[in-house]
A and B are shown apart, each in its own frame.
Chain A
Amino acid sequence: MKVSYNWLQDYFDKTLPVPEKLGELLTIHAFEVESIEKKGDDSVLDVKVLPDRSHDCLSHKGIALEVGFLANIPVKPKMRDIGSISLPESNVLKIEVENSKICKRFSALVMENIEVKDSPDWLVNRLEAIGQRSINNIVDATNYVMFAFGQPLHAYDRDLLKETDGGWKILVREAREGESLTALDNKEYKLDIGELAIVDGNSDLILGIAGVKGGKACEISKCTKHIILEAANFDPILIRKTSKRIGLRTDASVRFENEITPELTTTALKAVSDLIFKIAGTDETQVEGLVDAYPQPAALYKLGFSLSEVQGLIGIDISYNEVEDILVRRGYEFKFIEPSDLLVKLSPKFIGVPYKLGASILRDAPRFFDCSSLVSYLYAQVGISIPRMTVDQLVFGENISKDDLDPGDLVFSNSGVGKIHKESIEFMPGVQFPEGVDHVGIYMGDGIVIHTSRPAGVVVEENLNDSSSFDNPVGYRRFPALQETRYVISVPAERLDLRLKEDFIEEIGRVYGYKDLKSRPIKPFFEKVNIDSSDFYSNVLRKFFAEHGYSEVITYAFQKKGDVEIQNPLASDKAFLRSSLSDGLGEAFALNARNADFLGLVEVKIFEIGNVFTNEGEHLAVAFAGGGVEEIKRKISELNIALDFKTENKVSEANFSLAIKTLPQPSADQKVSVSDIATAEDSVRFKPFSQYPVVLRDIAVFVPEADDHNEIIEVVKSESDGLLMNYRLFDTFTKDFPEGKKTSYAYRLVFQSFEKTLSDDEINPIMERVTGILNSMSGWQVR
């Protein structure tokens, strides 16, 4: 999300910290700021908003609230809450939404007598700063409001829709077979059945692909006089699927697929109409009316947590004052309550509310309840989240006896009226409760229970012992959170990420600052440490191979042929998973054989341990190349590891998984130690190697017994202009000379340049100088 610094400043009276400071503040407490770019007198922050905050923070307002929160600078009240539009219903526009599950809200505003022209400079600059092209004042206004509030908008030229009986109609329906749209980009997009189309209700012309792209047919032009402004809320999954299928990701589709609150539409319409009055208004400009199809308004969500829950999850000694300071700064509406007291006070208020089986907490409460939705709803009001279903409430709660019942505890029965559940469904699915349960009520103290049932028809207050619903009690439960003072937060509508207490604890933790988090040691572990057989025996083999001069390679799992095919390969020669290690290891062997001299190796020996994929399944394989095949096989069998090596093209490979199955489970004290297999010192740093060919020279020198033969290499080094890359001592023998014993040391010298291919012209002079120097040393003799 590109964020304009100047735009953010609009939200505050006080001057914001400089962009770099702001970036740092956001990075440490909220989002990673990936870059800050200077653009004219503005700075643009590239803020990495992750999916959890894409509900509210793909907008300047969302970021501004966050900045105000973190920098502790108040947001201007009129920018925090601009209110929503309230207008008479339009007399000329009708909206019909076929399925309100996938289009929760469709709000539209009719504006008349506007003037389409270029946008004022300030608006052009704002949009350009965040990488948007200015089109005209109307389209720019809708874009501006989207980037300000996060609500996508669309403007239609009303006169290009079909007028019937002096009115216009927009229909939101699923696309039918063969329908397509010519979009604003002049491309044609075919719609699949079930995707959502915005349609002219009078002509059945497709006007747009809901939430993704608008059509050419009703495009705003210089001639446009009257407009219809759309602000809707579409289903995230449907929009995501459509946008993916047609391969079109737009600023609108990204916001919808991340889900935004339906509460936003009328706020955005208010903002956009205010702006249009300002930049496209004439003396005759007026808002004709609003249509708002919003059959099931979103319910307010409540969340609660206790201080000890914050302290326990984050591991900090945060105080009540610090928590409250954070809540106040963000402007959260919250209460600090005793849950059981409030529960007892609240519950009687719902006596008489009608019963509805399967009543939804989000949509029906508090107008309708069934037994468990009543309980779950009441607990939510005191900031305790419990499961929705009776059987899950029973499994979730702490078992108590009837004599221990306190106000707020739950009473369960098998009333025989509802469906009996014997197994938990949502909470820890599959926990058995053989007696079965179908009913729940909330205990008020003094033998009184409040509950609702189909026979009662409404929420009732009864004596527990006299209530026929509780003739057959099956359990009593308590939620320990009830005993502890709690904060209850009314979650702002746009914060769809705040749904669990953990979500809110994160909110506290990140603002408090993880930088002040002190590490706390973990307790000693007295259990048996898990030892993985595959890991253990792989290390046994690694150690074995290394001791026998083999180096380990890891080659690619992707091959051009194999048994298991990738549906979406990166390249056609990487379309399969390897069915054996042989191909990769064979290639590595050939590569290293070419470099053997450089490596100072007489013979290349390599091995690999890794998973391969065949028609029989996935297994761990081990393979090696080079060296004495029979000797290796014999020695491995002496380790009692039953590997059935097959040799082909110099590579010997075996199924290691099969062998591991027959081996005993290793115990902790058998562990292969790191020092056995890790050879690199902590101080080792990678050194680049040249891609140019090497030039080889052998040199053999007789050295008197008393002298240090290492001097040979020192001389070569000092004379070689940095071209000596490696060397290997390949032969020594001792011989008696008249002047005493001397040893012949024969070295193979490897010369190589990082800049070019070396020739004899460069190496011969070096060798001549080396020979001269060594021969001049007393008793030394180059052979």
Chain B
Amino acid sequence: MTLVYNLIMSVEKPIGHIHPLNQIIAQTSDIFSELGFGVVSGPEIETEYYNFDALNIPAHHPARDMWDTFWIKDELPHLLSGSLKGKSPMSSVSETGDRWDGARPEMLRKLLRTHTSPVQVRYAESNQPPIRIIVPGKAFRHEATDATHEAQFFQLEGLMIEEDVSLANLKYVVEYYFEKLFGAKVATRFRPSFFPFVEPGVEIDMSCFKCGGKGGDCSTCRGTGWIEIMGAGMVHPKVLMAMKVDPRKYKGFAFGGGIDRLAMLKFGIPDVRMFYDGDLRFINQF
């Protein structure tokens, strides 16, 4: 069996260890700052409006099923750390058959954010383009936990809005990031996908940094040569409008992925629950 020699070697001045997720976040922030992206944070208890409606995920739309949600019991208006400005960008059912129901009291219902994407909207409401931000932070999904699923996890969201931005720019940015994070030359592959807040929407696969994309009997990529790593796309015009950004003038891309998954891949961690056990036998290895 492998020895765990690298735990603590010094007795005179023991040095504490930063949680591996925060190490990844720190490294991520550094890499993105080289590209002009700053870090932004926001509340973990969100309103339905910011978590869903403003992101073009209307109530009663089947797309909502893509995010299993923890709802907060009781109305505690003061829990909300921002005011609901602007309401919905859409009025009732519009001519094009859009199902925006307009601003309704239900949009103030509170939930645990299912992604850090709401912070994009909050930020853009008060900051006009050019915008380059990342939002690393805790998010929650109502799902049973196992080795690859956790009810709480960390998400990395990114947003860039300028006059001239394309999917090809997105590819540049994510490849730059992965290469620096994994310390190896990586390629990315975009596949069509659907997220209501982007159009076009893509799933990003990263060539396996372990086997160099060769596959074979590589355990990191299960022999496929590719690792599914992020969802992304060009920001939907309706979301730009919810951000009070003029879609005639600006375009943007957004991406989002699990930081837990990045850390698991980078360090070969087999079980996501280890991040939250508070066990130094795990943390002090990093």
Residues in A lying within 8 Å of B, measured CB to CB:
27-32, 50-54, 236-237, 240-241, 257-258, 312-316, 360-362, 376, 388, 396, 425-430, 496, 499-500, 502-503, 505-506, 509-510, 514-515, 517-525, 527, 529-532, 534-535, 539, 542, 545-558, 564-570, 574, 577, 584-585, 587-588, 591-592, 595, 598-602, 604-607, 610-611, 613, 615-618, 668, 671-674, 677-680, 682, 684-690, 717, 722, 724-726, 728-730, 754
B84 at the interface (CB under 8 A from A): no
The one of B20, B33, B241 that contacts A680, using a Cβ cutoff of 8 Å = B20
In the complex, the chain B residue whose C-beta lies closest to that of A499 is B96
Complex: A613 Cα to B110 Cα, angstroms = 13
Decide yes or no: A315 and B169 within 8 Å by CB, A570-B151, A689-B4, A726-B4 being known contacts: yes
Whether the pair B17, A362 counts as a contact (CB closer than 8 A) is no
Question: Quick check: B173 and A728 within 8 Å, CB to CB?
Answer: no
* B218 surroundings in chain A (CB, below 8 A): none
Residues of B within 8 A of A616 (CB): 78
Q: Contacts A521-B172, A688-B2 known; list 5 others, CB within 8 Å.
A: A515-B189, A532-B40, A566-B71, A678-B23, A726-B5
**What interface size band does chain B fall in?**
35 or more
Cβ–Cβ contact A529 & B36, under 8 A? yes
Complex A-B: 27 CB contacts under 8 Å: A28-B191, A32-B193, A50-B194, A54-B62, A237-B99, A313-B167, A315-B168, A315-B171, A376-B95, A425-B91, A426-B89, A427-B241, A429-B91, A509-B192, A509-B200, A520-B168, A551-B283, A552-B16, A553-B278, A553-B283, A577-B45, A618-B43, A679-B286, A684-B285, A686-B267, A686-B269, A726-B7
B108 within 8 Å of A (CB atoms): no
Q: Nearest A residue to B172 by beta-carbon distance? A: A519
Least Cβ–Cβ distance between B58 and chain A, in angstroms:
9
Closest CB of chain A to B205's CB: distance in Å?
Answer: 10
Q: Which residue of B lies closest to A515 (CB)?
A: B189
Residues in chain A near residue B175, CB distance under 8 A: 519
A108 CA to B236 CA, complexed, in Å: 40
Check B30 against A599 for contact (C-beta < 8 Å): no
Q: Which of B57-75 contact A (CB under 8 A)?
A: 60-63, 66, 70-74
Contact between A514 and B191 (Cβ–Cβ < 8 Å)? yes
Among B90, B95, B152, B267, max chain A CB count under 10 A is at B95
**Is B216 an interface residue, CB under 8 A from the partner?**
no
Q: Do residues B168 and A565 form an inter-chain contact, with CB atoms below 8 A?
A: no
Any chain A CB within 8 A of the CB of B13? yes
- Chain A residues near B99: list those with CB within 8 A: 236-237
Contacts of B270 in A (CB 8 A): 686, 688
Chain B residues proximal to chain A, CB less than 8 Å: 1-9, 11, 13-23, 26-27, 29-30, 33, 35-41, 43-45, 60-63, 66, 70-74, 76, 78-79, 81, 86, 89-91, 94-99, 112, 130, 132-133, 138, 140, 142, 144-145, 151-152, 160, 162, 164-169, 171-173, 175, 182-183, 189-194, 196, 199-203, 234, 236-237, 241, 244, 246, 248, 251, 266-270, 275-286
Measured CA separation A173–B176 after assembly (Å)? 58
Q: Which of B33, B167, B236 contacts A514 (CB 8 A)?
A: B167
The reply to whether B144 and A680 contact each other, CB–CB distance below 8 Å, is no
Asked whether, in the complex, the Cβ of B23 is within 8 Å of the Cβ of A679, the reply is yes
Contact partner of A505 among B11, B13, B27, B200, CB < 8 A? B200
A32 CB contacts on chain B under 8 angstroms: 191, 193, 203
A-B pairs, top 10 by smallest CB distance, nearest first, are A525-B36, A315-B168, A530-B38, A588-B278, A315-B166, A506-B200, A514-B190, A50-B194, A519-B172, A520-B168
Contact between chains at B45 and A564 (CB < 8 Å): yes
Instruction: Indicate if the CB atoms of B200 and A566 lie closer than 8 Å.
Output: no
Our pick among A546, A678, A722 for the contact of B3 (Cβ within 8 Å) is A722
- In the assembly, what is the distance between CA of A510 and CA of B233, in Å? 12
Q: Are A530 and B15 in touch, CB under 8 angstroms?
A: no
Give the contacting residue for B63; candidates A51, A376, A722; CB below 8 A. Answer: A51
Q: Which residues of A contact B279 (CB under 8 A)?
A: 588, 591-592, 595
Q: Establish whether residues A548 and B16, one from each chain, have CB atoms under 8 Å apart when the complex forms.
A: yes
- Give A542's nearest chain B residue, CB to CB: B18
